[in-house]
Amino acid sequence: MPELPEVETVRRGLSPAMEGVVIEQADVNRPDLRWPFPDRMAERLTGQRVERLRRRSKYILADLSGGETLLIHLGMSGRMTVSGDPLGQFVHEHPAPEKHDHVVFHMANGARVTFNDPRRFGVMDLMPTATAEAHKLLAVLGPEPLGNDFHEQHLIESFRGRNTPVKSALLHQGIVAGLGNIYVCEALYRAGITPRRKAGQISAKRVAALVPVIRQVLQDAIEAGGSSLRDFRQADGELGYFQHRFDVYGREGEACRTPGCSGAIQRITQSGRSSFYCAQCQR
């Protein structure tokens, strides 16, 4: 599933084609994805100007001129692509419709934005912009890891007394929003902390040091255009390249990249997910 860097990359790719532009026509080609679409979704979107395109955790939020916000979650296989942009941001002409093109936005600037989702685990919903943060999917989220509310004291307090492994704690969306399996593995490697260690047993100094590491891992991934695992694509169809720089994720049995370390990357299963780490470098 796309994590924060992938979703931010998609948001940035969509922005030139959608922000400040009217949705001339919205086509909704099926009644649902993971859940049913909101009532009259096509009608409520058609004619609206996208005032702002923003991200909250792993969700893209489009604030509309009519006072509603469109929430988009890509799910396991969802992707959004842009074609026919008159500003020259994208090279693709409008392609022929595909089987899993479930929602299509025809923009007034000539761009077409298509949401394609073969497995239909994605989500779209409409809600009042004024109360968007109270939406059931957003209200439970913790601070953004790249925002000011994610700081050393917040993480120290969140970990205090917690008897779950640090890997699980960092995946808890109420502690920090948007982190997923890949970038938690990478951040713990850079911080030298084993994913096995209980969150409440890590010293405050080491927990505090995790904050800038998490920020840097995410910023590096965003700059690289997100990862290209499974079906992820940027909005213009190009692949992301951060996966070529993974230090531990997916590298089971390969040599650790820490200079002077003779260890190999190991994989364990935690709560049904694979954790990759170096037992020599991460304590």
Of 27, 119, 110, 127, the C-alpha closest to 72 is 127
Residue with tokens 């531990």: 248
Residue pair 278/256 in contact by the 8 Å Cβ criterion: yes
d(CA 70, CA 158): 31
For residue 197, indicate whether it is catalytic.
no
> Residue 258, SS3?
coil
Catalytic hit among 56, 58, 79, 233: 58
Residue pair 182/193 in contact by the 8 Å Cβ criterion: no
Residue with tokens 């100094």: 205
Crossing angle of helices 152-159 and 204-223, rounded to 10°: 120
> Residue 72, SS3?
strand
> Residue 124, SS3?
strand
Q: How many CB atoms lie within 10 A of CB 107?
A: 20
For residue 2, indicate whether it is catalytic.
yes
Catalytic hit among 2, 5, 16, 165: 2
Kindly calculate the radius of gyration of the chain based on its CA atoms and give it in whole angstroms: 20
d(CA 4, CA 144): 10
Q: How many CB atoms lie within 10 A of CB 93?
A: 8
Residue pair 232/226 in contact by the 8 Å Cβ criterion: yes
For residue 3, indicate whether it is catalytic.
yes
Catalytic hit among 12, 44, 54, 273: 273
Catalytic hit among 3, 8, 68, 186: 3
For residue 160, indicate whether it is catalytic.
no
Catalytic (active-site) positions: 2-3, 58, 273
